[in-house]
Amino acid sequence: TFGMNFRTKSEAIIAELIHVAKIPFLSEAKLLLKDEFGRTKVKYPDFTFFPPGRGVLYWEHFGRMDSQQYRDDNFEKLSLYHYNDILPPDNLIITMERKDGSLDIAGINRIITGILMPLFYDAKGNPLF
């Protein structure tokens, strides 16, 4: 996918759609967070955005929700995000695959056009970056 590697097919599809919309992003960028005990934890959000004139925005896509370990690991990640004020809808986008493992492409496109594009483009389609 345009010279980048992704851990899952769904992440690659989402990245391709973001790329087509010409929205700059980082994939799996290192993020240092503090837990409730003050310990530093390292996480790697699926996508990180730096919209002009506002703080950082993260996007996490959850795929294998049929796996208890995957759910537990990601609930821990979401708890850590919450502790660090990374919350939807302010600075966190969360998407999931359907029960059958499919990806809602129309829903992903609504997020890109309705949430991300207004942060990176003005009403006339001119980039803000």
Q: Contact at 8 Å (CB) between 103 and 97?
A: yes
Rounded Cα gap, residues 107 and 16, in angstroms: 14
Give the mean model confidence (pLDDT) for residues 75-94: 96
Query: What local confidence, expressed as pLDDT, does residue 68 receive?
Result: 83
| Whole-number Å distance between alpha carbons of 67 and 13 | 22
Cβ-count burial of 11 within 10 angstroms (0-12 exposed, 13-18 middle, 19+ buried)? buried
Q: Answer whether residue 66 shows pLDDT above 70.
A: yes
Output the pTM of the full model: 0.92
